[in-house]
Amino acid sequence: MSDDTRKQTEIHAADQIRKHQRNLNTKELSAAILSHDRAALAQAITIVESTQSDHTQLAKEIVQACLPFAGKSLRIGITGVPGVGKSTFIDVFGSYLISLGKKIAVLAIDPSSPLSKGSILGDKTRMDQLAAEPNAFIRPSPSSETLGGVARKTRETIILCEAAGFDVILIETVGVGQSETAVHSMTDFFLLLMLAGAGDQLQGIKRGIMEMCDAMLITKADGENVKPANFAKAEYTSALHLFPAKENGWTPRVEVCSALEKRGLTEAWQMISDYEKWMTERGLISIKRHQQDVYWMHQTIREKLISDFYQSPENKKRISEIESDLIAGKITAFEAARLIVG
Ligand code: GDP
Reported as a single tens digit per residue, the pLDDT across 56-95 is 889 999 999 999 999 999 999 999 888 899 999 999 999 9
Distance CA 300, CA 185 (A): 13
Residue 173 CB–ligand 1 contact under 6 Å: no
CA of 131 to the centre of ligand 1 (A): 17
Pocket lining: 249 vs ligand 1, CB cutoff 6 Å: no
**Tens digits of residue pLDDT in 252-306:** 999 999 999 999 999 999 999 999 999 999 999 999 999 999 999 999 999 899 9
Looking at residue 257, its pLDDT comes to 98
Mean pLDDT, range 122-135, rounded to an integer: 78
Ligand 1 atom nearest to 126, measured from its CA? 8
Q: Does residue 212 line the site of ligand 1, with CB under 6 A?
A: no
Dist. CA 63–CA 48, nearest whole Å: 8
pLDDT above 70: percentage of residues in the chain: 85
CA dist 212 → 76, 238, 286 (Å): 13, 16, 18
Number of the ligand 1 atom closest to the C-alpha atom of 81: 3
CA 141 to centroid of ligand 1, rounded, Å: 20
**Burial of 67 per CB tally in 10 Å (0-12, 13-18, 19+):** middle
Cβ(88) – ligand 1 distance below 6 Å: yes
- Whether residue 185 contacts residue 288, with contact meaning beta carbons closer than 8 Å, is answered with no
Our mutation pick for probing the ligand 1 site, out of 84, 87, 88, 217, counting the most ligand atoms within 8 A of Cβ, is 88
Give 83 Cα–ligand 1 centroid separation in angstroms: 6
**pLDDT tops 80 at residue 167:** yes
Tell whether ligand 1 has an atom less than 6 A from the beta carbon of residue 258: yes
86 lines ligand 1 (CB under 6 A): yes
Please tell me the predicted confidence (pLDDT) of residue 178: 79
| CB 222 near ligand 1, within 6 Å | yes
Q: Is the pLDDT of residue 38 over 80?
A: yes
Least confident of 47-51, 76-80, 196-200: 196-200
Q: How far apart are CA 233 and CA 253, in angstroms?
A: 9
What separation in Å is there between the alpha carbon of 127 and the centre of ligand 1? 11
Q: How many Å lie between the centroid of ligand 1 and the Cα of residue 129?
A: 14
Q: 74, 189 in Cβ contact below 8 A?
A: yes
pLDDT band at 133 (very low <50, low <70, confident <90, very high): very high
DSSP, res 186: T
Would the pTM count as exceeding 0.75? yes
